[in-house]
Amino acid sequence: MRVLHTIAELRAAQAGHRSAFVPTMGNLHEGHLSLVRQAREAIGAQGLVVASIFVNRLQFAPHEDFDTYPRTLERDCALLQGAGCDLVFAPSEAELYPEPQGYKVLPPPALADILEGHFRPGFFTGVCTVVAKLFNIVQPAVAVFGKKDYQQLMVIRRMVRQMALPIDIVPGETSRAEDGLALSSRNGYLSPAERAEAVQLSQALRQVQAQVQAGRQDWAALEAEAVQVLAARGWAPDYVAIRRQADLGAPQAGTPLVVLAAARLGSTRLIDNLELPG
């Protein structure tokens, strides 16, 4: 495995090969590594698996954790090598943004300004801009994104379709700890007591799933009940929302649904989702 820090080095290393791409911000965990293994399966033995490690300033609001987000490049590279990655692209900020990024990708508000985009204004503009730039640099045939960031997956998939980019976007299932907590780089911020409590977020989603499977269709009441359960345990929920899988629009009986949640536990904001039967 090679670790490359410049665009020129990466392009030279990829010459003549098809690539599968896994973009990350580093501080890797098993969820990321499962995406790398999925990328290998998608591209085959003759292709290259490329992972990027870059903490993207454009997707952080001024009050968020850009400066304190863990940078663990040496550890990350060891994990990636063990997962079968071929090339790690770890550019500096000056390499990726040699001048202020005045050109940005603005995703449609109907998709990008709801849920995460409502609570983190500008977030998906930052995500789309860096991902579009990385796509132009790596030029992968395949890119793998985890379902844990469900709305992000949908935003990227739609961007690729509307921009006619020749990239197959492959979704990866959410990786979970044994108790059901979705793996996240931000789980490392949790105290031991908070970590024990954090599983309640996924349990709240499973309770919604059980209620839908039992036939309930009073979506707003189900959402409110889940919010109340979390708030009573000391969480600060941003949302629990039942939406259509196809476009994150208002739920309709008989269509595939997803329940998404974001809530703060202490100083740590966690997100999760669970697909539901139609």
Q: Which of 13, 74, 76 lies closest to 49 in space, CA to CA?
A: 13
Q: Clarify whether 32 is annotated catalytic.
A: yes
On whether the CB atoms of residues 159 and 105 are closer than 8 A, the answer is yes
Distance CA 159, CA 87 (A): 25
**Which among 5, 17, 29, 32 is annotated as catalytic?**
32
Distance CA 74, CA 71 (A): 9
Residues tagged active-site: 32
